[in-house]
Copies of this chain bind each other. A is one copy, B any other.
Amino acid sequence: MPGSLIDTRQQPLSVGIVGGGIIGVILAAGLVRRGIDVKVFEQARGFREIGAGMAFTANAVRCMEMLDPAIVWALRSSGAVPISIGDHQAEARDYLRWVDGYHESSKRLYQLDAGIRGFEACRRDQFLEALVKVLPEGIVECQKRLQKIHEKNETEKVTLEFADGTFAHVDCVIGADGIRSRVRQHLFGEDSPYSHPHYSHKFAFRGLITMENAISALGEDKARTLNMHVGPNAHLIHYPVANETMVNIAAFVSDPEEWPDKLSLVGPATREEAMGYFANWNPGLRAVLGFMPENIDRWAMFDTYDYPAPFFSRGKICLVGDAAHAAVPHHGAGACIGIEDALCATVLLAEVFVSTRGKSSIVRNRAIAAAFGSFNAVRRVRAQWFVDSSRRVCDLYQQPEWADPQKRIKAENCFEEIKDRSHKIWHFDYNSMLQEAIEKYRHNMGS
Contact = CB atoms under 8 A, between A and B. Distances in A.
A65 interface: yes
A25 to B, nearest CB: 14
A152 interface: no
A34 B69 contact: yes
Interface in A19-68: 30, 33-35, 65-68
User: Counting chain B CB atoms within 10 Å of each CB, which of A67, A357, A442 scores highest?
Assistant: A357
A355 B431 CA distance: 26
Given A1-B137, A354-B76, A70 B447 contact: no
Given A77-B35, A356-B90, A66 B66 contact: yes
A351 to B, nearest CB: 10
Nearest to A81: B357
Count of chain copies: 2
Nearest to A116: B442
Contact of A136 (B1, B9, B76): B1
Nearest to A74: B5
A7 B77 contact: yes
A427 B248 CA distance: 47
Contacts of A410: none
Interface string A120-158: 000000000000011111000000000000000000000
A82 to B, nearest CB: 13
A259 interface: no
A355 B34 contact: no
A80 interface: yes
A9 B90 contact: no
A73 B1 contact: no
Given A5-B133, A65-B66, 7 more contacts: A1-B135, A5-B73, A7-B73, A7-B76, A10-B77, A91-B447, A431-B431
Interface of A: 1-3, 5, 7, 9-10, 30, 33-35, 65-70, 72-73, 76-77, 80, 89-91, 116, 133-137, 350, 354-357, 431, 442, 445, 447
15 contacts: A1-B3, A1-B134, A5-B77, A9-B77, A10-B77, A33-B73, A34-B69, A34-B70, A34-B72, A35-B73, A35-B77, A72-B350, A90-B354, A90-B355, A91-B445
